[in-house]
Amino acid sequence: MALRELNIRNFAIIKQLEIEIDDGLTVVTGETGAGKSIVLGALNLLLGSRAETDMIRHGEEQCEISALFDISKLSGVKNWLELKDLKAPSSSNEGDESTEADDYCLIRRIVRVNKPTKCYINDQPSTLASLKELGLMLVDLHGQHEHQSLLRKQTQRQIVDQFAGHHDKLLEMAKLTGQIHRIDRELSSITGRNSDNADRMELMSFQLNELDEANIEPGEFEELTQNQSLLSNAKELIEGIKQASDSLFHNEVNNVSADLGKQINNLSELVEFDASLAPSLELLNSALAQIEEAQGNMDSSLAKIEMDPERLQEVVQRVDTLINLARKHRCTEADLVDRHQALKDEFQRLEKQHAQPEKLEAELRILNDQYYVIANDVSERRQEVAEKLSTAITEQMQDLGMKGGALEILVEPQISDDPIVSENGIDFIDFLVSTNHGMPMKPLQKTASGGELSRISLAIQVITSQQSHTPSLVFDEVDVGVGGRVAGIVGKRLRDLGNHAQVLCITHLPQVAAQGNHHLAVDKVSSSTETYSTLVSLNSELRTEEIARMLGGAEITDRTRAHAQEMLDSSKSAKQAAS
C-alpha cells in the first residue's frame, strides 16, 4: 500500500473530505457533477500541479490538501527523503533501532487567496519542485482526457521511454544536448566577431610593429625635451655661466668672493671690541659658504654642457617621432608606453579569440561523440521495446473489443549529413494502428475513432502500468467511450492491476465499479445556505444500491438491484478463483 489517507478541505465544492484508501482496486462513483473528478483534481494539486485561487471554495481564504503514504517498502522514497533531510520526526523510545514513523510520509499543500502557496513534506517546509519530484515516485495519474494526448508525438515517445526504463540515459542525453547547443551558439558568435576583428587586427599589427621599432622607454620624452633645451642653448649657457663664475670667483681684479673674504676678516677683528657685530659676521660667513656652493654647482653644470650639433639633430628627430606617434594614437607623448602595452594586451586577446574556435570545435567533436554513443544506445533500446510493446498492446486490444486490430510502434533513427542534435534523441517515433483485420497500418491520429482511441489508450496504460514502479495508480474515467462486454473487460484489467499496485479508479460504468475491491461514493449535498460534496465508503448493501443506480438511473427497481447483485457476485467469484 502507498496512499493511506487523503484529506481535502475547502477545495472547489468540497468542504471537508477524509478518504482512507486500501490495497487493490478502489472505485469511486457518483452522479454527474457530484465531484468525482474533483477528488482527482485535489490529488493532482497536492502532487504539484498549477494552483489557481478559484480552486478555493467560495467564501474561504484557503484550501488545504494532505495525504499520508505508507513507504515501508519504498526504499527509493526513503533514501530520497533522507538525502533531502525530510524524514518524518522520530517518535521512538530511546534505544529503538527503527521507528514506525519512518514508514510513513505526510505531504501537504495550502493554496491561499492573494498569497503564495505553501508546501510541506513531513511537516517541514519544502519547495514545489521537491513536491513534484516526490509525487512522481508515489502516484501515477491517468486523466480522463489522456487518450487525446496519445495523438501527440511527445506522448508516444514518452510511452516508449517509460517502458524502456532508460531515464538516466535520457537525462545525460539532454545534458549533452544543452552543452552542444551552447558551444554552437558560442562558435557562431565568435565566427562573426572574428570576421569583424580581422581588419582591426591587421591595423593593430601595423601599429604594434611601429611602436616596437620605436622602442620607447618610460620617461624618455621628458628627458629628450630637457636634452633638446640644453643642446639648443649650449652657447648661451656656457657664456652666461662663465660670466657669472668670473664675477663671483675668478676675476683677479675684482670678484665677490675675494671682497667678501676681506670684509669677514675685518669684522672678525672688530667683534673683539663690539660683540653686537657677531650676528653680522655669522651672516657673512654663511653667505660666503653659499657662494662657494654655488660655484661648485655652476662648475658642475658647465662641465655637462657641450656644443654638439649632431646630437642635437638626433634629439630633435626623436622628439618629432614621439610627437607624431602620440598624434596617431590620440594620446600624450608621456602616455605612449601605456598605449603600447594596451595594444599588446588587446591584440593578444583577439588572437586568443581567433584561435578559440579550434578549441571549441575540438570540444564540440568530443561532446557529439558522447551524445551519439548514448543516442544510439537509446535508439536500440527503443526499437527493442517498441516490438515488445506493440505485441503486448495488440493482445490487449483483442480483449477490449478490437478483434483483428493491431498497433505497431515505429522507431526510425534519423540519419543525415547534417543531423539535428535533440534532447529527445535521433529517432522518429510514430504509433501506427489497424483497427480491423486486413486493414493497412496508418498513423494513429488518422485512423482511430474516439472510442477506439480510448480503448487503445487503456490498453497502453494497462501494459505500461505493469512496468511502473509507482505504488499508486489513479485513473479518472479512462473507460469513457466503452460499454457492455468491453466495459467488463476494462474492469477486470483494472482489477488485475490492483493485484500488484494500489489502484484508484473514478468511473461511471457499473461493469467497472463491480470489479472494485473497495467502493467509495461521492454525493452532492445542498441546503439553503451551501452546497458541498461528501464521500462515503459503501458496505455490500449500499454498494448494490449504487451499482443499481448506475444501471437504471433515477428509478431503481428490484430487477436492477438483482442485476447489480449478480454483477457483484460474479466479480467476487472471479476474485476468489484468481486468488
107's CB contacts (< 8 A; 6+ apart) are: 46, 66, 67, 69, 119, 120, 121, 122, 131, 134, 135
DSSP H helical ranges for 400-528: 450-467, 484-497, 510-513
96's CB contacts (< 8 A; 6+ apart) are: none
Statement: residue 409 has pLDDT above 50: yes
How high is the pLDDT of residue 95? 47
Mind listing the pLDDT tens digit for each residue in 448-503? 666 677 778 778 877 877 666 778 888 876 666 677 778 888 888 888 888 888 88
Average pLDDT over residues 7-19: 88
The count of residues in the chain is: 579
Single-letter residue type at 558: D
Mind listing the pLDDT tens digit for each residue in 385-396? 999 999 999 998
Mind listing the pLDDT tens digit for each residue in 268-289? 888 888 888 888 888 888 888 8
Average pLDDT over residues 17-42: 84
Statement: residue 92 has pLDDT above 60: no
> Cα dihedral sign for 18, 21, 22, 24?
positive
Average pLDDT over residues 522-541: 84
How high is the pLDDT of residue 144? 58
CA pair distance 228, 249, nearest whole angstrom: 30
Beta-bridged to residue 66, according to DSSP, are 7, 108
Taking the CB of residue 276, how many other CB atoms lie within 10 A of it?
Answer: 7
CA angle 539, 540, 545 (to 5 degrees): 95
Statement: residue 132 has pLDDT above 80: yes
Taking the CB of residue 375, how many other CB atoms lie within 10 A of it?
Answer: 24
Give rounded-to-5 percent helix, strand, coil for the chain.
Answer: 60, 15, 25
Mind listing the pLDDT tens digit for each residue in 32-77? 766 777 888 888 899 888 888 888 988 889 999 999 999 988 888 8
Average pLDDT over residues 561-579: 82
Dihedral pair phi/psi, residue 254, rounded to 5°: -150, 120
How high is the pLDDT of residue 225? 83
Please report, for residues 19, 109, 208, the alpha-carbon distance to residue 11 in angstroms, rounded to integers and kept in the order given. 14, 12, 75
Average pLDDT over residues 87-101: 59
Mind listing the pLDDT tens digit for each residue in 138-191? 888 776 555 566 788 888 998 899 889 898 999 999 999 999 998 888 787 776
Mind listing the pLDDT tens digit for each residue in 362-372? 899 999 999 99
Average pLDDT over residues 310-334: 85
Statement: residue 230 has pLDDT above 80: no
3-state secondary structure of 444: helix
Which string of DSSP letters, residue by residue, matches 265-292? HHHHHHTTT-GGGHHHHHHHHHHHHHHH
Statement: residue 514 has pLDDT above 90: yes
Single-letter residue type at 532: Y
Q: How far does Cα 299 stand from its chain's mean position?
A: 80
Statement: residue 348 has pLDDT above 50: yes
CA pair distance 171, 175, nearest whole angstrom: 6
How high is the pLDDT of residue 30? 85
3-state secondary structure of 126: strand
How high is the pLDDT of residue 99? 52
Q: Pull the grid cell for residue 406.
A: 493491431
Average pLDDT over residues 538-543: 91
Statement: residue 245 has pLDDT above 90: no
How high is the pLDDT of residue 286? 87
Which helix (H) or strand (E) segment holds residue 410: the answer is strand 406-413
**Of 499, 491, 537, which Cα lies nearest the Cα of 515?**
491
How high is the pLDDT of residue 553? 67
How high is the pLDDT of residue 8? 92
How high is the pLDDT of residue 474? 85
How high is the pLDDT of residue 97? 46
